[in-house]
């Protein structure tokens, strides 16, 4: 597969520009904003990290960009992909973008793959959703996609089912699915959280290599500050649906401005030292203290 011209015109403008994104759930007890007034940009060849503890609205943000919010949730604000407003587009129009211009890698690779179908089918259907090609041609693409994510014997493995792969290989397959249409933007929502550290290291390396090869822009969502410090150029720290702090990775990690960011950094267990003082870390959602 030779790398064709990026589908997006590389005219210097940001690949993804999110402005004032608010995601609201209508509940019987009134509307709840799970993401409020969030703004960020993602450039080509760049990785934006979004960090925050569970429930801070990271996944809702990514689903809002993909236009895949669950029932009951509505997004407002502005989401521009390559200069074009996509928030509020019809589902049919969004479908043409999903998988094609923007793709997603999810947290749990086993449950994110359908156990009833071979990985080959699950890759080819993604390709064929956007390319009018024969089964055979799509299969060749899928074999190459598996090869690109460094799965050995791709021509044999293509006919295997998800449960026949290890956790790390399943995530490689998810990445192959996401990359098979050469999207401009990849959103990875906790892609390594379910994996062992050694496997995580391999997957992170693979993602970095592929990004260098293809030049895609990436949103990397995680709760793990150390991981985000390694993969992202820019970071958004979220808490309770709002942006706490944003800036370059170096800035966030060497001179955090907000108390919340500082508390988070202090709470990371480290390999070279004992935990820093914990007095300042409260249980943010409950106010419990010890």
Partner 1 sequence: MSAGEPLLEARNLVKEFTTNTGGVLSGKKRAFRAVDDVSFAVGRARTVAVVGESGSGKSTTARMVARLMPADGGSVLLDGEDVTHGTGAALKHFRSQVQVVFQDPFSSLNPRHTVDRIITAPLDYQGMGVPGGKRQLVKGLMERVGLNPDHSGRYPSQFSGGQAQRIGIARALAVKPKLLICDEAVSALDVSVQAQVINLFKSLQAEDGYSIIFIAHDLAVVRQIAHDVVVMNRGAVVESGTRDEIFDNPTQPYTRSLLAAIPTINPEWEARRRVNEQRERAALT
Partner 2 sequence: MPGYILRRLLGVAVILFLVSFLTFCIFFLLSPDPAVMICGKTCNPARIDQIREQLGVNQPFLAQFWQFLSGIFAGRTYGEGAAAIHCAAPCLGFSFQTNQSVVDMITARLPVSVTVAVGAAVLWLLIGISAGLVSAIKAGTWWDKGAMMFALGGISLPNYFIALVLQYVLVVQLQVLPFPSTPDFGEDPLFWFQSYIMPWTVLAFGYASMYARLTRANVLDTLGENFMRTARAKGLPSLLVLRRHALRPSLTPIVTLFGMDFAGLLGGALITETVFGLNGVGKLAADSIGKNDQPVIMAVTLMAAFFVVVANVVVDLLYAVLDPRVRVKS
User: In the complex, which residues of this chain contact ligand ADP (CB under 6 A)?
Assistant: 25, 27, 34, 52, 54-60, 70, 72
The mark string for 59-78 relative to Mg ion (x by CB under 5 A, - otherwise) is x-------------------
Residue with smaller CB distance to Mg ion, 59 or 192: 59
Is 34 a binding residue for partner 2 by CB under 8 A? The answer is no
* Whether 175 contacts 113, CB under 8 Å: no
Is 69 a binding residue for partner 2 by CB under 8 A? The answer is no
Whole-angstrom Cα distance, residue 251 to residue 42?
Answer: 17
Stretch that binds partner 1, among 101-109, 138-146, 150-158, 272-280 (CB under 8 A): 272-280
Q: Report the chain's terminal Cα–Cα distance, integer Å.
A: 57
User: Which one among 114, 213, 226, 268 touches partner 2, defined by CB under 8 A?
Assistant: 114
Residue from 201, 191, 211 nearest 43 by CA: 211
User: Which one among 113, 227, 228, 263 touches partner 2, defined by CB under 8 A?
Assistant: 113
Whole-angstrom Cα distance, residue 40 to residue 57?
Answer: 14
Whole-angstrom Cα distance, residue 24 to residue 33?
Answer: 4
Radius of gyration of the chain (CA): 20
Q: What does the block give as tokens for 288?
A: 């419990």
Name the β-bridge partners of 78: 19
* Whether 220 contacts 233, CB under 8 Å: no
Instruction: Work out how close the CB of 55 gets to Mg ion at its nearest, in angstroms, rounded to a whole number.
Output: 8
Is 200 a binding residue for partner 1 by CB under 8 A? The answer is yes
Instruction: Work out how close the CB of 35 gets to partner 1 at its nearest, in angstroms, rounded to a whole number.
Output: 18
Instruction: Work out how close the CB of 100 gets to partner 1 at its nearest, in angstroms, rounded to a whole number.
Output: 31
Footprint of partner 1 on this chain (CB under 8 A)?
A: 53-54, 167, 196-201, 204, 223-227, 229-230, 250, 253-256, 262-272, 274-275, 278, 281-286, 288-290
């Amino acid at each position: 597969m030779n790398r064709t011209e990026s589908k997006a015109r590389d005219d210097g403008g940001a690949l993804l520009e999110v402005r004032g994104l608010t995601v609201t759930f209508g509940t019987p007890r009134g509307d709840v904003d799970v993401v409020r007034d969030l703004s960020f940009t993602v450039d080509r060849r760049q990785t934006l990290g979004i960090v925050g503890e569970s429930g801070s609205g990271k996944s809702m943000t990514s689903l809002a960009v993909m236009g895949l919010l669950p029932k009951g949730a509505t997004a407002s604000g502005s989401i521009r992909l390559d200069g074009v407003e996509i928030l509020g587009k019809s589902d049919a129009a969004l479908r043409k973008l999903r998988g094609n211009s923007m793709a997603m890698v999810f947290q749990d690779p086993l449950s994110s793959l359908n156990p009833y179908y071979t990985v080959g089918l699950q890759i080819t259907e993604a390709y064929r959703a956007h390319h009018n090609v024969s089964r055979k041609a799509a299969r060749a693409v899928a074999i190459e996609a598996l090869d690109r994510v460094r799965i050995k014997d791709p021509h044999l493995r293509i006919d295997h089912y998800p449960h026949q792969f290890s956790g790390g290989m399943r995530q490689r397959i998810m990445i192959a699915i996401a990359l098979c249409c050469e999207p401009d933007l990849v959103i990875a929502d906790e892609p390594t959280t379910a994996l062992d550290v050694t496997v995580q290291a391999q997957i992170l390396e693979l993602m970095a290599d592929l990004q260098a090869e293809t030049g895609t822009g990436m949103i990397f969502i995680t709760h793990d500050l150390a991981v985000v410090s390694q993969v992202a150029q820019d970071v958004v720290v979220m808490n309770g649906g709002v942006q706490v702090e944003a800036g370059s990775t170096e800035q966030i990690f060497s001179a955090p401005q907000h108390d919340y960011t500082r508390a988070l950094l202090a709470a990371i267990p480290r390999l070279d030292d004992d935990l820093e003082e914990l007095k300042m870390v409260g249980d943010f959602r409950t106010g419990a203290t010890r």
